[in-house]
Amino acid sequence: MSSGQDTKGAEGGDNSDDKKEEGPSNSQGAAGGDNSDSKAEDNQTTEKKEEEKKSALFDAFAISLGLKDEPKIESLLDTVDFNGIVKYIKDGKAKNIITMAGAGISTSAGIPDFRSPGTGLYDNLQKYNLPEPTAVFSLDYFKDNPEPFFMLARELWPGVFKPSTCHYFIRMLQEKGLLLRHFTQNIDTLESVAGLDPELCVEAHGHFRTGHCIQCRAEYTQDWMKERIMKPSIPKCEVEGCEGVVKPDIVFFGESLPHRFLQCMSEDFGKCDLLIIMGTSLLVQPFASLVNRTKENVPRMYINLENSCPPKLDPIMTVIFGSGFDFDGENNYRDIFWQGTCDDGCMALAEALGWGEELKNLVTTEHAKIDAANPDRGTLPAKKADSTSEKTNASPKKADSTPEKTDTTPKKADSTPKKTENTPKKCETPKTSDKTPPKPEAATPKATPGSGSKKTPLIK
């Protein structure tokens, strides 16, 4: 692709045209409109929230000291296990499902995760002579030496991969009108390949579809970057007088997460009535903190090869950091852990819900389309059953309620299942602009490793 105006966005500069001039103060008289009542109402709301926080903290101290019993929260599930989740969905109580995903949902598609011993990307970065594995995703290191990142990018670059059974299960939730939003840490774009509506997908750690010069912020397309990265060479900005490096729009350590992540995080979790977490160790913040943003009675299901979720905290820490998970607790009323690969977990859910054949047919049909569109690539190797999830040193007990594994071999279908209409729910997808994107506000949370590891990578 040529490198003219068609391949890159406008240079950075003054975006004052996008700003509206401020008029007279709204607190003035009739000319400006008196909204003092509205301001007073906002102040009352803020004061009420502060009082609620104080009250919750006092209650937590009292519970910790044994002066007060921990409040009983009524479970929304008939039984707090796999079967309870299935019945909850069948009964139509889960209408706004949020899914959260990490690298574990893509390993069966042939994309390695980051932490699995021996096969994870961080175990195989020695050849890049890095001071430490995570330096490859450090913005400071990238500015000094971008070559290791682009060497790795050539291996990770989105190509002709077949989405996993798990990806297509998420698409089925969309088609059945049950998916409120899908939050992913992955940068492999397999959700898009699987047919997930971009409006329903939040890529918390960015993507390869666009890139920006790290100096002047000029925007470039994926094709423009790919042409140069695969030569191989380091993509350099073509704006006159600028020699900055063009970095794909994936989030490095020290960078703010996309505004869309923060917007949807604020809007969606209060509406969520079922949270399904798959293929992530939940070590990377602030993504990991999303599990604590649902209402306190909303069921949460965790599908992973091993249980690496943070445990339930004491009452005081719960007020500050969130509740954690209580899979084996005596008073557990909402947390279910399904131990196994993400593909097997999703197929087990589909079978129990009566969607098994539909899911198998969808996988077979869509994979055949990918093969037909890419005859020179051949078929991808069969998935490894033990690599669908990130591994940790945890050794959880397998839940007694886990159903027997079902045969997940897809059966060939004559046609693609008909896609039903699903109107995206608020939180609009920002459109790519020709203008330089504004810098994030100072209060925007930065991507940081979780407390479980000082060297936790940002993107998974």
Catalytic residue at 205? yes
Mean pLDDT, range 215-240, rounded to an integer: 94
* 3 state SS of 355: coil
pLDDT digits (tens, 9 = 90+) for 34-62: 555 666 666 666 666 566 555 555 555 55
Catalytic residue chosen out of the listed positions 182, 205, 207, 212: 205
Mean pLDDT, range 262-268, rounded to an integer: 95
| Residue-level pLDDT at 269 | 96
The backbone torsions φ and ψ at residue 304, rounded to the nearest 5 degrees and listed phi first, read -165, 160
Could you tell me which residue, 35 or 292, shows the higher pLDDT? 292
Least confident of 101-115, 137-151, 160-174, 274-288: 101-115
Instruction: Look over the chain and give the mean of its residue pLDDT values, rounded to a whole number.
Output: 74
Query: What pLDDT band is residue 328 in, cutting at 50, 70 and 90?
Result: confident
- For residue 317, pLDDT over 70 is answered with no
| Residue-level pLDDT at 281 | 86
pLDDT digits (tens, 9 = 90+) for 103-149: 899 989 888 666 566 555 666 676 777 888 788 889 999 999 999 89
Could you tell me which residue, 46 or 6, shows the higher pLDDT? 46
pTM of the full structure: 0.67
Query: What pLDDT band is residue 78 in, cutting at 50, 70 and 90?
Result: very high
Interatomic CA distance for residues 310 and 308, integer angstroms? 7
Quote the percentage of the chain above a pLDDT of 90: 42
Q: What does the block give as tokens for 101?
A: 């995903």
Mean pLDDT, range 397-406, rounded to an integer: 42
Most confident of 37-41, 275-279, 386-390: 275-279
Cβ count within 10 A of residue 87: 16
